[in-house]
């Protein structure tokens, strides 16, 4: 590794976001369709669940991600005009079917190679999710990557969802590193912004070639895949 | 008015949310289509813009609603695969076309009758928006309702977006009333929740017959229209 590289020295710890950053939500589209919801409604459902979680974070509440996911899905089902036929599953069964899809998502194709390359470079790897630790654990176990991660963390123990500063401070404390020794890697600009304001280094994982919102603090690094991230600090 | 009504006595002040509560976003669907975006993407755009605004509120930033609206729309246009033909408008022109649609929305059909009935009952009427005061002003002028409102307020002057407690406290201070003398009326459950936590009375305007999320504090009142609200405190 080259300490004089324009992207800076390698971090001591990479703090990965989990949902959408490591996990691929694409199969949820089929899960939605299987219960009569439009595949396109995955996006507003997920955005609305984060909106409501952040609203509660603004007023000092630290809700369980899964509770918001289930309830917002149930409300969407009830409002969609999808009426379960007599004898078929009811809305609660449909919600559980989609949630079961959510807890069995795969990782993105670049994750295994990227994570192994970062591990080989001697960088400590951890996760910090607004969801539950068990979802991250299952995801990484299915991908055969559980051994590569030193610690899986959830904001459930931090007292506040990301992007509240307490969430990042909690992760740094658990890892025993200063903010400048850690880099937060995420697909979500709001997570990059929050981590940057908390003093962490930041890497925006932009798999889709999207644009970064000008109203958020810019990331230190932008990469198209975790493989690219793993090579960012090479000479 | 009947002070012993089960819904309680009439409030001194009704604090109305503006976007979607008074304004009808339906015409935005056509605005989106006119620039090549799917009509269905109004919902994720609006949810994503609130998500990002709340994320910034969580970290102590008070952004301009219009900046987030424009920029998130620009990014959606750039990512949509809609390529302006040579000689036709570019993404910035398309953004301004949609934003112009946003600032010329109509009020919902129940608003004029409901507001006039509340006014006749001697209740003070104000607005508190996460957007700009000028958008609320234009909306109410087009509806011929400008004279019915004592004061139009924006979180731009409050230091924080709703549902942060400072936003409601600011509105109460401007109106010179205690929290218990005011009722926040909104279509958005996150606004009801924030107002309830700030001590205000709350009225959920549920025009679409939707379900209220169990993870938010429940409203004191639920009505299907502003006309119904105006009659809520009658004997």
Flag whether pLDDT at A3 surpasses 80.
no
d(CA B42, CA B24): 12
d(CA A179, CA B216): 33
User: What tens digit of pLDDT does each residue of B4-23 get?
Assistant: 345 679 999 999 999 999 99
- pLDDT-derived band of residue A2, with 50, 70 and 90 as boundaries? very low
Average confidence (pLDDT) over A13-28? 98
d(CA A234, CA B158): 47
Percentage of chain B with pLDDT > 70?
94
Residues from chain B contacting residue A199 (CB–CB below 8 Å): none
> A22 vs chain B: nearest CA distance in angstroms?
21
If one compares A187 and B1, the residue with the highest pLDDT of the two is: A187
Q: Does B38 touch chain A (CB under 8 A)?
A: yes
How wide is the angle at C-alpha A179 spanned by C-alphas A175 and A180, nearest 5°? 115
Flag whether pLDDT at A6 surpasses 90.
no
Contact across the interface for B194 and A163, Cβ inside 8 Å: no
pLDDT at A8: 79
The residue of chain A with its CA nearest to that of B191 is A55
Residues 6+ apart with CB under 8 A from A225: A110, A114, A205, A207
Contact across the interface for A63 and B211, Cβ inside 8 Å: no
Contact across the interface for B55 and A211, Cβ inside 8 Å: no
Based on the number of CB atoms within 10 Å of its own CB, is A173 exposed (0-12), middle (13-18) or buried (19 or more)? Answer: exposed
Q: Which of A2-6, A213-217, B63-67 has the lowest mean pLDDT?
A: A2-6
User: What tens digit of pLDDT does each residue of B79-130 get?
Assistant: 987 766 555 568 888 999 999 999 999 999 999 999 999 999 999 999 999 9
pLDDT at A112: 98
If one compares A165 and A235, the residue with the highest pLDDT of the two is: A165
């Amino acid at each position: 590794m080259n300490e004089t590289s324009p992207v800076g020295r390698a971090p001591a710890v990479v703090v990965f976001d989990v949902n959408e950053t490591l996990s691929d939500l694409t199969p949820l589209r089929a899960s939605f369709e299987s219960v009569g919801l439009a595949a396109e409604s995955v996006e507003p459902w997920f955005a609305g669940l984060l909106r409501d979680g952040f609203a509660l974070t603004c007023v000092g509440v630290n809700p369980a991600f899964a509770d918001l996911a289930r309830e917002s899905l149930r409300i969407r089902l009830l409002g969609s005009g999808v009426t379960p036929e007599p004898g078929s599953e009811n809305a609660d069964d449909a919600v559980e079917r989609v949630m079961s899809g959510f807890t069995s998502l795969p990782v993105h194709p670049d994750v295994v190679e990227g994570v192994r390359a970062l591990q080989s470079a001697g960088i400590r790897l951890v996760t910090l999710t607004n969801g539950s630790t068990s979802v991250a654990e299952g995801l990484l176990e299915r991908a055969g990557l559980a051994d590569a991660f030193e610690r899986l963390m959830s904001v459930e123990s931090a007292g506040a969802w990301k992007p509240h500063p307490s969430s990042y401070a909690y992760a740094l404390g658990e890892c025993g590193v200063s903010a400048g020794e850690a880099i937060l890697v995420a697909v979500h600009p709001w997570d990059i912004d929050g981590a940057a304001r908390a003093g962490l280094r930041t890497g925006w994982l932009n798999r889709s070639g999207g644009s970064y919102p000008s109203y958020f603090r810019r990331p230190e690094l932008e990469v198209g895949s975790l493989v690219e991230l793993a090579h960012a600090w090479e000479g």
